[in-house]
Amino acid sequence: MKDIYIVATLSDAPVDFAAIDEELDADDLLFSGDEGRWSFRYESGSGPLEVRFEAREEALGETPELLSGNPANLDVLRRAKGFYRIAFPTNEAHPPLIVVEALVLARIILASTEGVLLDISSFKVHGEQDVEEIIDLDFDIRDHLSIHVQQLTDGESPLWVHTHGMEKFGVRDVELFHISEDELDAAEGFLHELCGDMAMGQAPEPGSMMGTSEGHVFRLDPSEEARPRLIGVPLEAFEGHEGPCLTVVSAEGRHTAGELLRPYRDRFEDESPELSEALQATATKLLPKFRSRFMRRGLMEPLTFLVRATFETHPEGTPEGEDLWAEVLTWDEETMVGRLVDGSRRTTEWRKGAAVEIAESQVNAVVVTREGRPLDEDDLSELLGAELPS
């Protein structure tokens, strides 16, 4: 059993255990309240979970610099006096079900007392609403993972990029070496894709070959074998990061990742003003027919209606606009309710699967997919023009 989460609360007294017992409704919930110890063990459907409560006379105060979260949540953590440690086994790979069950326990506790959730494995601090969304919305590895960047050498590609947070899924964290500054977004995109697959139980054996969604082949070597092969990087550079990782190397075992990341760079290139204007013009022109065809779609038609709009995010604390796609679910007068299909690229403010309201005036691009494949311009025009009243 390993501590993975801490629910930090402003109260130094534990919540009423009866409320937890009632919420879980489990026959095998073992509670201990003897000699000042407040703890319980829960045999969930995917493994055992343990929760232990500890109290401090003084607030936590300063927090480690590595922690990430919004200022309000970090402030609650600094003032916290009560701490519930949630532990579960991490000695073998497992799908994220036990992680979700641990989060459900955290949600039950947070419903009874003011506090926040600290993910020890990824250094993330989540508020109560964050926990609700992580449980209820589509699985997004970015909620469970932090990516850290550290300069190890000089030159054009001096960066070491590595993850924190995969331990909770029973697998090693992943690292990349010799990354340049302009490859960082691509490296993060690659790691999110790879770690998302690993978290869902698709972790490879160390040393085995893997392929990206773009068709490039690479290898994941144990870090204890891969790090000594780095030229010009002393092992002392990994002080504090001695834990085992999986190191991404080429099929031949080299640490260069430029070719591997090339397709991912394209995903982060800014859309040209000319393309944005063309998409906006097309959306404005087609939107009335798009809406009309959506309203009369058949129940068995394999069609998905997608719209794109700009949402405000705060990746660096200051507001930025980011274009996100949403599947249209309902349309009432000039406002539609949709479900985000991609989620924000650099923050979790707008999570994949979140319900959003979009005004027709906000739409800057439209797409219809049939059986998951987007229709080209001719097929889309034909679809939207079909079955119009004469």
Tell me yes or no: is domain 2-137 CATH 3.20.20. Answer: no
Q: Which CATH code is given to the segment(s) 273-385?
A: 2.30.30
Q: What is the mean pLDDT of residues 78-85?
A: 94
CB-based contact 15:111 (threshold 8 Å): no
At a CB cut-off of 8 Å and minimum separation 6, what does 43 contact?
Answer: 26, 28, 49
Inform me whether the pLDDT recorded for 390 exceeds 80: no
Residue 362's pLDDT band, with cuts at 50, 70 and 90, is: very high
> What are the pLDDT digits (tens) for 98-135?
999 999 999 999 999 999 999 999 999 999 999 999 99
Residue 271 buriedness (CB in 10 A; 0-12 / 13-18 / 19+) = exposed
Type of residue found at 99: V
265 by DSSP, 3-state: which? helix
Q: What is the mean pLDDT of residues 169-187?
A: 90
Render 36-74 in DSSP notation, one character per residue: G-EEEEEEETTEEEEEEEEE-SS---S--TT-BS-HHHH
- Spell out the domain ranges in the chain: 2-137, 145-267, 273-385
For residues 123 and 385, what is the distance between their CA atoms, to the nearest angstrom? 52
